[in-house]
Structure 1
Amino acid sequence: MDVRELVQEIARELLVATVQSAPRPKVLFLFCDSRAHDAYLDTFILLRNKGIDCDLAFLDGETSAWIGMHKCESTGVNKSIAMDEYAPAPLELPHSYEGIVIPEIDLDNAARIATGMKGSVKSEIVFAALLLDKPVWIGKDSGGIKRADRQTLKTLELTPGYAKLFRAHMDTLEGLGIRLIDRAELGAEVVRMFGSNDGDAAAESTPAMPAKPSAQRSLITADWVAAHAASLGGSLELDPKTIVSPLARDILKQQGIILQYTGKG
C-alpha cells in the first residue's frame, strides 16, 4: 500500500469513527454518601464488561449541596458531574443518562417521591427521569433510614409505625413506574435492559472458535480488527514494518489485545 492509500484509509477512519461506533448507554448511580459505593465495585465491573458506562453521585449533605446554591456536589467514574455553581441542577441530570439507579432510599425521600414533592436531590432526579420516560431502579430492601441517621442514632430499623408508612410509600413508588429490585440484583437488571451479549456469545462459541487469523499485512485497519477481534486472543503478532492505524490501535487497546512485533518480544 502506497502512502496515498494509507493516508486515505486513516482519514476515512477518522471521519466516520463517530458514526460507526454506537454510543454506550450510561446510567447514574445515586449514593447517600461518598463511602456507600464500596459495596458495588463488582457491579461497576459487570456493567463495564457489558458495554454500559456509569457515573456516581455522592450526596453527602445533600440539602446544603443544592438548596439555595443550585448545584449537586457529585463525582463520577468517568467524569465529574457537578463541582461548582455552574453545574446542572438535579432536575437537568436525567437528560444525560439512560437510567437512574438508587441502591438505597430513606423514608424522607421515598415520601417526597411518592407524593410528588421536590426539595431533595433524589426526588428532583427521579421526578425528571420519570417525566422523561427513563427507567428508575430503587433497592427494595432498603431499610428506610439514611446512613448518616443510622450512624447518629445507632439504630438500624424504623419503628413499626414508620416501617408501615415506608412500605406504603414503596408500594406507591412501584405504582409510579419505578422498578423495585433487590440491591444485589441491580446490576443484573441494568444489564438486562441495556447490556450487550457479545461477551456471552463469544464465550458460548469458544469451542468452535476459528484459528487465529494471520496478520501478515502492511496495514492493520479498524475494520480488520473489528472482523477478527474475537479470534485474536490476547495478543496480535505483527511484522515490524506493519502499520497500525490510530483507530485500530485504540480498538485493540480497548479490547485488551497486546501488540507483539516479530523479533521485539
Structure 2
Amino acid sequence: MEDVLGDASLAETPAAGAARALAAAVQAEGAFRPELPYHNRHHVAEAVMAMGLLCALARLGGLLDAPMSTLGVVAMVGHDRGHDGSPPGDGRLERLAAELTRPVLAAAGLGAAESLVVTDVILATDPACVAINAARAAGCVPADPRGHGFDLLCQLANEADVFASLLPSRGWRMGAALAAEWRMGGHARAEAVASFSGRLGFLRLYRRFSPPAESLGLSRLVGQQVAAFAWGAASPEEGAAALDRMPRPAAHRRYMDALDAIQEAP
C-alpha cells in the first residue's frame, strides 16, 4: 500500500492489512485455476497501480485525504473477485466481488464505515455507473452523503479499471483479450467488442474525466483516438464502420497512421 500511494505512514493501517489480504486471495485464486484472458491478475495489478497514481495525484491536489485514497486502492484490489468472464449487466459481477471482499475486510479489522466505502466503490465499478459517477464528482448532480471525496473516488475507480484500455496501443490488445474472454463463453457480443465500432463506443463512454486524469493528459489522448476514426470520413462513427469493412491489418494500420498524424500536428 505504501508503495502504491507513496506514503510510508500507511504501511501498518487496517486498510493496508486488508489490501495485503485481498492481494493474497487474488494471487491464490489466479494460481489455482485457469485465468481469464482479460479479467486476470495482470488486469488487477494494472488497475491497482492506476488507482494508486490517480489517488496520489488527487491527494497532491487537495482533493482526497490519505484514508480515503487508501480505501480506493483497497477497493481496486478486490473489484473483480469471482469474475466469471461474462459481459457486465445489472451489477451482478460487482455485487459478487463486494460480497467476496466484505469478510476479508472484517478479518483485517477495517471499521464498518470504511468497509462500506470499499464495497460501495467496488459496486461503482459497474460500467453502467460511469456517467453518473463522473456527473456526481463534477457536481452536476446531487452528491453522495459521504461527500465529494467519495464521489471522486468512484470516478477514479472507473478510470483506473480501464486505464490500460484507454491507451492507444495497449487498448487494442485489451479489446482483443476481452473478445477472447467473451468468445470462450459463447457471448454474442464477443466480435463486436474488438471491432473498430466497438472501440469507438467504449471510448465514447468516457466524456468527462477527473482532474487527476486530466493532469495526465488522458482526456486529450482519448479525444485524439476518437478523432482518428473520423480521418477521411464524415464522422467517427462513419469512419469506424468503414474500417470494420476493411481487412483488419490494413484497417488497423490506417487508423494508427491517422492517430499518429493527429498527435504530431502542431
With normalisation by structure 1, the TM-score equals 0.29
Q: Select the structure of larger CA radius of gyration.
A: 1
Greater helix share, structure number: 2
Greater strand share, structure number: 1
